[in-house]
Chain A
Amino acid sequence: MLEAILLTVITAATPLVIAALGELVTERAGVLNLGVEGMMIMGAVMAFGATQVTGSPYVGILAGIAAGAVFSLLFGILTLTLVANQVATGLALTILGLGLSGQIGESFVGQPGIKLQPLPIPFLSDIPLLGPLLFRQDLIFYLSVVLVVGIHWFLFRSRTGLKVRAIGDNHASAHALGINVIRARYFAVMFGGACAGLAGAQLSLVYTPQWVENMTAGRGWIALALVVFASWRPLRVLAGGYLFGAVTIGQLHAQALGIGIPSQFLSALPYVATIVVLIIISHNRRTTLINTPASLGKPFVPER
């Protein structure tokens, strides 16, 4: 029973963690992309479609990643090259993604999907409790763990990651040092899109292997909240993602057990938790300033 519940928590948390990690890198470079929900649902529908056509969920994963990246490229062209407002463009991206995916996925509705099968790791998967939870998982789960550690290392240990943080802190100075701000931001935006696409693929290939319109159901927004909740630090995204995942699952179980809490209450919990965390961290202004990308959402036009 416990194992089953924990497994569902992990499955619910994985897409949140992956999408939030992508957005974290985008925001660390100083770009606010509110289109996570849109990129995620595009990833979900393309992953499902590609899997149906080829029969291979691995092709589906690649299609999901590509769909998210291409969709975010549209955001990049609009906000980085044409210097459109990032908030408005991000919201438009979400609306466009929800509509477009519904159109593309019209014929997929009701089709049985192909589930991405677990890849048990020899020996480790035989450990009681931990084995089935952590080592008898699918590829996307393993990827999420690698991404957390990898992005933490990238941002805080590698020189390229240092450049990304510098651009997010002060793009004018970064430009003056000779860093190509716009190019770096394109990469960051597209990495964010690819992650959102991968998170969407997880939804339509693992979480509920079928296509349902609007199946992201606000997870893109939770991922956005999660980035702030984690104060732009990858390891905290992991912790926060599992907390938010547990809340989602707890909500389902509470309903099943007939506990008299209105479900809206529980679905609002991640956002309430984010606000509480915001209040707590804003108490220590110094750490907030050191972690928050100071040029977040500000357009950059190099003078030449």
Chain B
Amino acid sequence: MTVSEGSAAIPLLSVRKLTKHFGSFAACSGIDLDIAPGEIHALLGENGAGKSTFVKMLFGILDPTEGDILWNGERVAIRSPGTARTLGIGMVFQHFSLFEALTVAENIALSLDPKIPLAKIAEEASTLSKAYGLPLDPKAHVADLSVGERQRIEIVRALLQNPKLIILDEPTSVLTPQEADKLFETLFQLRAEGRSVLYISHRLEEVQRICDGATVLRHGRVTGRCDPKRETAASLARMMVGSEVAAVSRDTSAALGDVRIEVAGLNADARTPFAISLRDINLKVRAGEVLAIAGVAGNGQGELFDALSGEYPVTSNEAISIRGRPVGRLGINARRLLGAGFVPEERHGHAAVSALPLSDNLLLARSRSDRKAFLGGGALGVIRHNAVRAATRRICEAMDVRKSGEDPVAGALSGGNLQKFIVGRELDRQPAVLVVNQPTWGVDAGAASRIRQALVDLARAGSAVVVISQDLDEIFEVATNIAVISEGRLSASYPAGEMSRERIGLLMGGVHDSTQPGAVHAH
């Protein structure tokens, strides 16, 4: 680590006993942290560990309830992002704080001195972005850019203010491995210039690769401080999660049955200017198989899910078939009646109505497929509340859904518990085909492991399962076969044992093999 004389004793940033309460809930309690000049410091923690709350206090978006922030040894009150920037703190947000309707230059101008003319900003942004290997067109509208390009805007915007400390919140969650490598080079360049970086992540291998020091958070408290290069991934994970996470057990030798869901030559045009068109998608999933579809966010995963589930039927009826029947033009309920189940990505507002109780959410999803069980009175469709409640109880027990009260509203459950319920809602029907999109996005490790195990068990019981996921760990845990989606095209699928992270990374970046369907099926 490079420490210049004089500054050795005084860290660039020191945080002492920083605490934030939301009502009675302590998002952060008594956090201590030091960052030296020229250090890349990791802030590790699971979703909900309090990382985002912590950095929002550093950047003046949230007011701390208690505690001190020291900048170059002096106590400072950071009341607004403006103050933070004046001190020399720059921030790259996890959920981009960009304005889609504005151009790149306009977006950057908003965080700079209003006296600098727009033309000069555009020019500087262009020069700086080239110097750090992050090419950008200042005149482009953000709405037209990819996620990777959007992140570059955030980084360039932070760099233009010549910050001493740059905070990056989960920067690689939207990048391909190759794009991430480029980002790391930029970070090393910044460190060489004597700037410090606070790197927030839950990806252990990255942290071990690039960070000089790490602070681990769990439930809003510091549970460990270490040099990540001297730790193992397992010991870091223990600090993050608190206990060893149960590994998903699976049986790879099982023979596969008949084809349950098949897609042949599927094309679907983008519905909105920001959506992706699907081009010539081919896939086959057999009974007993888990096909995992990897890819960086925004490469057509949502669109593929919509086509498979029938949320947006496609033009060719023959392009998709479930259990041998063409279903391309059928809607979601008709496909459910054929024995398929679907779990979309967004928990709130898509998979579940947050304001309704779990039993109503169950009924909404299955009122057609389980009409006989849940509805009485013939055409009147009178709700059989007892049957619905019993099924809700059954699902919650099967999936270990932790909730307060008998039948709380969906919005009252934590992300992990609601996700367990939503997946359990489909598993309860023993579907012949299950398609899930990002099944464990933003849920805690315990719930994620429970859900993955349930998916593997379902396949073992003889169903065909399609898992669309951005999480490579998850993909390797559950998959029998792996395919990669990139820019609306799906690669051929390969047995999980033959795939490596590097190879998936290449496919994610759009390096397609010319081998089309048929490359699979070597079991």
Chain A residues proximal to chain B, CB less than 8 Å = 159-160, 162-163, 165-166, 169-170, 172-179, 285-286, 289-294, 303-304
Contact = CB atoms under 8 A, between A and B. Distances in A.
B414 to A, nearest CB: 19
Contacts of A162: 102, 106, 109-110
A166 B85 CA distance: 19
A80 B414 CA distance: 30
B101 to A, nearest CB: 4
Contact of B100 (A169, A172, A303, A304): A169
A162 B118 CA distance: 11
Nearest to B271: A285
B406 to A, nearest CB: 32
Contact of B61 (A176, A285, A290, A293): A176
Given A162-B102, A162-B110, A178 B97 contact: no
A165 B102 contact: yes
A293 B143 CA distance: 13
Contacts, number: 69
Main secondary structure of the interface of A (DSSP, over half): helix
11 contacts: A162-B109, A163-B110, A166-B99, A169-B100, A176-B81, A178-B60, A178-B111, A286-B273, A289-B143, A289-B273, A294-B100
A173 B272 contact: no
Interface residues of B, number: 27
Task: Please name the 9 residue pairs, one residue from A and one from B, whose CB atoms are nearest each other, closest first.
Answer: A173-B97, A178-B81, A178-B82, A159-B114, A286-B273, A169-B99, A169-B101, A176-B97, A290-B101
Instruction: From A173, A174, A178, A290, name the one whose CB has the most chain B CB atoms within 10 angstroms.
Output: A178
Contacts of A173: 96-99
B92 to A, nearest CB: 12
Given A165-B99, A169-B102, A170-B97, 4 more contacts: A163-B110, A169-B100, A176-B97, A290-B101
Interface in B33-63: 60-63
B229 interface: no
Nearest to B53: A303
A14 to B, nearest CB: 30
B323 interface: no
Contacts of A179: 110
Interface in B238-273: 272-273
Contacts of B97: 170, 172-173, 176-177
A166 B62 contact: no
A303 B62 contact: yes
A155 B109 CA distance: 14
B430 interface: no
Interface in B381-432: none
B80 interface: yes
B81 A177 contact: yes
A166 B105 CA distance: 13
Nearest to A288: B273
A174 B93 CA distance: 13
B102 A159 contact: no
Contacts of A165: 99, 101-102
Contact of B143 (A160, A172, A175, A286): A286
B450 interface: no
Interface in B70-87: 80-82, 85
A170 B100 contact: yes
B110 A166 contact: yes
A157 to B, nearest CB: 9
A173 B81 CA distance: 11
Nearest to A287: B273
Contacts of B273: 285-286, 289
A3 B114 CA distance: 47
Interface string B139-154: 0010110000000000
A165 B61 CA distance: 21
Given A289-B100, A294-B100, A176 B110 contact: no
Contacts of B109: 159, 162
B302 to A, nearest CB: 17
B66 to A, nearest CB: 15
Contacts of A178: 60, 80-82, 85, 111
A26 B62 CA distance: 28
A184 to B, nearest CB: 12
A141 B415 CA distance: 58
A179 B81 CA distance: 9
B98 A291 contact: no
A176 B157 CA distance: 14
A170 B272 contact: no
A222 to B, nearest CB: 26
Contact of A290 (B110, B143, B272): B143
Nearest to B80: A178
A289 B141 CA distance: 11
B90 to A, nearest CB: 12
Contacts of B82: 178
A166 B106 CA distance: 9
Nearest to A180: B80
B99 A304 contact: no
B96 to A, nearest CB: 8
Contacts of B81: 176-178
Contacts of B101: 165, 169, 289-294
A285 B272 CA distance: 7
Nearest to B85: A178
A290 B99 contact: no
